[in-house]
Structure 1
Amino acid sequence: LRDKLQTAQERMFRFSLYITIYADTEKGLRDIETNLRSILESRLIYIKPALYQQKEGFVCTSPYDLDLLMVTTLMNTAPLSSTFPFISFDLSSNEGILYGINRHNNSLVLFDRFTLANSNSVIFAVSGAGKSYMVKLEILRYLMLGVDGIIIDPENEYKFLAEAVGGSFFNISLASEHHINPFDLPPPREDEKAEDVLRTNIINLVGLMRIMLGGLTPEEDGIMDRALTETYAAKDITPETDPKLWGRKEGLPFPIMSDLEAVLSTMEGAESLVRRLQRFTKGVYAGFFNQPSNIDMKNRLVVFGIRDMEDELRPMALFMILRYIWKTITSEMKKRLLIVDEAWWLMKTEDGASFLFGTVKRARKYWLGVTTITQDVNDFMKSDYGKPIITNSSLVLLMKQSPATINVVQKTFNLTEEEKMLLLEAPVGEGMFFAGTKHVLIKVLASYTEDQIITTAPEELLKIKQAKKELGG
C-alpha cells in the first residue's frame, strides 16, 4: 500500500457513511435498526447510533453537502470503491420516449433506441407477463415522434391499436380478401442494379419454396432456381427491361404462382415439384398464395394479423409477409419500427430464421428498428440464428420467465442468481431492461388514455366494446 501511495496508484480519503432509517412507530424503528445491525455486523461492519446528535445526523443524509458529525475513517481507493454498488444505473436522456420507471431509484427510463449502435430489440417473457402491452406502448409513443410502425401480429392483438390511431389492419388468412404476391419486386435504389434486385429476390423465393414444398433436393434446388428466372422472363421482367415498368398492369405485371407451375410443367425432372406446387395453385390454398398483391402500406401504422391462418401455413405466411415488408422498407428510407411477435414461428424453419436474421442485421442501413418477441426461449435459442439475432440487438427486455427456461436465459444474458430470482418472481409489467452495457429493473407505466387503447385484458376489452355499443346506440 505504501508503494502504491508513493507512486500515486492509490490515494487516501476520509470516508463517512451515514444511514437514516424511517418507521411509523418507535417499535418499528428499533426492529429496522436491529435487522440492519445484524446484517452489517455479519460482514464485520459495526454501526453506532448518533445518540443526542440525531438532528446533525439527519442533516448529514440530506442533500446539503454538510458533515456535521465528522465521524470519519481513513480508507484508500480500492476498499473505498466497494461502496459504489449503492449507486444504481440511470437510463435517462434528453430525447426518446418513456419506457417506464427505474425500480432501483424511481427515476424515469427515458430512451431513444435510434441513438444506439443498432435500433433492434428482443423481448423474452412468458404469456401474460405484459410484453405485448409494453410493445404497444412503445409503438404508440414513437408514432407521436413521427416514427412509422409495422407489426406482424399472430393473435390480432394489435387490431384495436391500429383502429385507434387510424392505421391499417390486414387480416391474412386463406379466406381473406388481402393478398401478398411473393413474386413482387422492389424498385431498384439509385445505387442498385436491376440485375441485383432480381437475383436477390430469386434466391429468397427459392428459400420460400423450400418451406412451402417441404424441402428441396440439390437437383430440385437447381431446377427451381432456373424455373423462377424463366417465370420472370416470360413476363419480360429481366435485367435489360425498364424497372419502372415492373409490376404495372399496363406495363410488365408480376407473375403469380400458377405462372411458375406452367414453367415447371415444361421442364424435365420437375414432375414432383409440379405435384407439390399444385396445392398452392389449384387447391384450397390457391385463394391466398396464387393472387396478385392488393395491400397498400402507405399508412403510418400497418398491422398484419395472422391469427386465422392455419398453423401448418404460418411459417410460410410469415416468410411472405416479412419479404413484402422488406420490399417496402428498402424502397423508401424512413424511420420505422418492425415488430415480429411470436418470432419462434418463423424460427421453426432454417430459411425463415435466416431471413429474419438478415433483416435484423441489415436493418440499421435502412433506419429500421426490429423488435423480436417470443415466449418460447428454448425453441428460439435452438436455432443457429437465435444467438446472432440477440447479438445484433442493442435493446433487451426480459420480463417474467418460467422455471423451465430461466437457466437458458441466465446463461444467454449472463445474469446473477439474484437477477434470475427477480425474473422468476417478476410481477406483470416489470422486468429487466438492457440498453447497451447498462441494465436496470423497470416497471412499465401507461396513462389512463394509453391504457384504454393498448390493454389486452379480456375484461377491459369487453367493457370497451360495451361502451362503444352504447355510444353507437
Structure 2
Amino acid sequence: MKLPFFKKKITGEVTEKIFETPSIEAKDIIAPASIAVTPDNLKLGKRYAKAFFIFSYPRYLSTSWFAPIINLSTPMDISFHIHPVETGLILKQLRKRVTEVQAELMERGEKGLIRDPALETAFHDLEGLRDRLQTAQERMFKFGLYLTIYGNELKEIKDTENTLRSILESRLIYIKPALYQQKEGFNTTAPYGLDQLMVHTPMSTLPFSSTFPFVSFDLSSNEGILYGINLHNNSLVLFDRFSLENANFTIFAKSGSGKSYAVKLEILRSLMLGIDVIVVDPENEYQFLAETAGGAFFNMSLASQSHINPFDLPTPREDERSEDVLRSNVINLVSLLR
C-alpha cells in the first residue's frame, strides 16, 4: 500500500513562484495609490469623493430642472438607472389605491366634514395616471439618480454639497449622502451599469422626460447617431451620413486629440442601429472592440490561418444571374494578374 504523505515534496517550483516578479498591467498604472473608505466619503489617493442619491421629488417637475447641476464647473459623476415596470402590475396597484382614496372621500362626505384638497388632488392624479397608462400614452419606471462629487479637500466637498442642496432644494428636490454605502455609491456612478444602491422613485413618462439634460428646440436631425453637443444652443448633434448621396467622411485632428476614440464611438453607436461595420486595421487597434461587441477579427498575414481567396465566387443576389457573377469575377482576376 502506497502512502502519499511519504512522497518527496517538490519545492523548486514553489520557490521560483515566491521570488517571481509580478507583471505590471494597465490597471496597476491607473489605480490610485490607496483607497480609504469612511462612512461618509472615499479617499482615492489624495482626492476625496462623496456619493449622493435623490430620494424625494415634488408633484411637478419643470423642464431642464437638472441642467444647473450638469452645468456646474465642479467635477462629478452622474448616473441614471432606469428600470421599466410592467404596466399591468402598476394598474392593479393604482386600482387598489384609487379605491382606498375614493372610500375615504365618501366617508368624509357622509360625516359632513369639509373637503380635503390634498385628498381630492391625489384622487384626480391617480385617475389621470390610470387613464394614460391604460391608453398606452405613458409608462411607469423605477428611476434612480445618483451623484459622486470630487475634491482635493473635505472643505471643497462640503462646499459642493451645499451648492447641490441649494440648487435642488429650491425645486423641492432632496438628496442624501450614501452613508456607510460610499463604496456602493461610487460603483453605481461608475460606468459599470450596476445599481448597487437601489434607491428608486416610481415615475411616469411625463415627469421622467424632464430629467433629460439636453434641452433645445433646435436639432440637427431627427435620425442618425449622436456625434456631440452643439455649444451654441446645448442641442444634440444627430446625423445620419448614410442618408446623403455620398456617405464618405474623413477625420482630421492632431495627434492625441481623440480620433480613434471618436471612430470607435461611432462604430458602437452604428451597431446599435443595425449598421454593419468593416474595419481595415493594420495595427490591430480594433481587435478588442470587435471581440467585445461580438464581432470577428481576422489576422491577415502569411503565417495566419485566415486568407483571402481571390478565386472565391460570391453568392448571386436575387437580381443577378450566375453567369454574370462568373463573368465579372473573371474580368477582375484578369485585371489583377496583369
Structure 2-normalised TM-score? 0.33
Structure 1-normalised TM-score? 0.24
Q: Which has the higher contact order (CA 8 A, sep 6+)?
A: 1
Select the structure that is richer in helix: 1
